[in-house]
Structure 1
């Protein structure tokens, strides 16, 4: 059981923590708006992930498998949200935190970003099909696996947010702030384009 737990933790950390639109959005928010003002966005992302875990574990994911157009629409909506959040980060006012926080991505932004993210569904299909924790009761196996994944996601997402916050001084330096924010936002858009190239 311990080896399977460690394998689940490691795989979840790699799948959810690798640089992609959500981790980059968290880092960008932490760097641009600070930790305190990004917590609602983080809470939304984690709540969206809870929805993904529940939907995946109860098998509603079959809808995405049998109807590829639904998956494509989710990817399109997710891409649009990532780009919108990237624009918020790139256009945030410089040197005025009070004004910048007006444009901070919200709880609903984070929730929609993760609940529409086909990559998250694909990750949990893999996790539930290959790394399900072995309990005699199937329901308990799914709940335990989902809770472990959620705990790993919380840790990984908080680390991305903290990483971004460490960059806040650079992000808010008068000379470099705008080019760095635009570069960071561009990386978010590139990850979306790369995801679409793999469809």
Structure 2
């Protein structure tokens, strides 16, 4: 069980679309918007976990055309979120992004987040806790995963909100938003490069 908990921690704490976007939303829009987005990420994460546990994810991702559509949708959505974070509060009318991503955006991100599927597949197909009792193992893993997931994501949100509350000069805040967006773009690039070729 401790090995599973350590694996959850290490797989979740590493930068991916979820943690980078929650920090970015916190830095760009503050706690209230970040909290709504965090709720969406939480719901989406658990929906992905259930899709992996049930085998639905494997069945769908086993179809090359579906996998390609999900990858394209994932890249496009991550680019959209990166742009919203980068241009939050921008005074340029054609790129102004004052509306923060909300619950639906968090659910959507996790639904098309390649890291969410990879992490959940690794966690729920390995690290046996109750190998002779599928229901007990699944429940234990869901509880442990969520108990670790929540404080990590709250920590990333807090880090972003702390930056937001510092009342930094606009140019400094803009640079932070650009850095958050650039980190998300780095994740997009890694997702594209690591995608299986069909």
> Is 1:182 equivalent to 2:183 in the alignment?
no
**More deviation in 136-145 or 21-30?**
136-145
Residue segments in structure 2 that go unaligned for 5+ positions in a row: none
Name the SS of the counterpart of 2:115 in structure 1. helix
* Residue 14 of structure 1, aligned match among 10, 23, 26: 10
Matched residue count: 191
Alignment check: 8 A CA contact 1:90 1:178 kept: yes
Counterpart position of 2:108: 112
Find the aligned partners of 2:119 and 2:67 in 1 and give their Cα distance: 14
C-alpha deviation, 1:77, in angstroms: 1.2
- Residues 142-175 of structure 1: CA distance to partner in whole angstroms, max 9, x if unpaired? 1221221122111211111111112224674223
Divergent runs of 4+, >6 A: none
Q: What 5-or-longer segments of structure 1 have no aligned partner?
A: none
Q: 1:179 to 1:102 in 2, by over 3 A?
A: closer
2:130 paired residue number: 134
Structure 1 residues 172 and 86: alpha-carbon distance in aligned structure 2, compared to 1, 3 A threshold: farther
Secondary structure of the residue aligned to 1:176 is helix
Q: Is residue 85 from structure 1 mapped to residue 81 from structure 2 by the alignment? A: yes
The verdict on how the C-alpha distance between 1:130 and 1:157 changes in structure 2, with shifts beyond 3 A counting, is: same
Aligned ranges for residues 67-86 of structure 1 at < 5 Å? 67-86=63-82
Residue matched to 2:157: 161
Give the match for residue 125 of structure 1.
Answer: 121
Q: What's the TM-score once normalised by structure 1's chain length?
A: 0.87
Aligned-pair RMSD on alpha carbons? 2.1
CA distance in 2, matches of 1:111, 1:196: 21
Q: Distance in 2 between matches of 1:135 and 1:157?
A: 29
TM-score normalized by the length of structure 2: 0.87
